[in-house]
Amino acid sequence: MLLPILHWPDPLLSKPCAPALLDDDLRHLASDMLETMYAARGRGLAAPQVGRLVRLFVMDVTWKESACSPQVFVNPEMVELSVARVLGPEGCLSIPGPVTEVERAEAVRMRWTDMEGQRQDAVLTGFAAICAQHEHDHLDGILTLDHLSPEARAQAEAEVLT
């Protein structure tokens, strides 16, 4: 089922999310979120973007170029961030319009629970690392806008609101 995606400045997007409980309701939500993400032509979607304040996000960083590789992250934790940083353009399905330049760690070690209830531990690099940090931010109520200088933020906000 397609879910409506909340848009900034919806206040739910700025709230921290509670730990998720892996049950049938959450599996259903994750499946709907993947469907919604593909329909919106996104590569990642976090639960608060569809109005659910739980620590869950989905992503697929390869589907636009090659095969689908849907991933579900329940209660993800950023265990370690690389010292190396990269600055790159980021869009967000909740902030239609502006693409903002955000600085991220080049690599990140994450732990999370998958749909089978198994705890996973992996180092993500490249676009997956960037996307995972972006989605993880959503779980703490942080948007790309929050990473910008006051001037860049004002410009991006004006782009959304016009």
Q: How far is the CB of 95 from Zn ion (least distance, A)?
A: 7
Judged by beta carbon, residue 13 or residue 26, the one nearer Zn ion is: 13
Closest CA relative to residue 54, chosen from 146, 138, 142, 115: 138
Largest CA distance in the chain: 45
Catalytic-labelled residue, pool 35, 135, 151, 159: 135
Scanning 6-14, 59-67, 84-92, 106-114 for contacts with Zn ion by CB under 5 A, the matching segment is: 84-92
Q: How far apart are CA 7 and CA 43, in angstroms?
A: 17
Say how far residue 112 (Cα) sits from the centre of its chain: 14
Q: How far is the CB of 23 from Zn ion (least distance, A)?
A: 25
Choosing from 50, 61, 92, 129, the residue that interacts with Zn ion (CB under 5 A) is 92
Say how far residue 15 (Cα) sits from the centre of its chain: 14
List of residues contacting Zn ion (CB under 5 A): 92
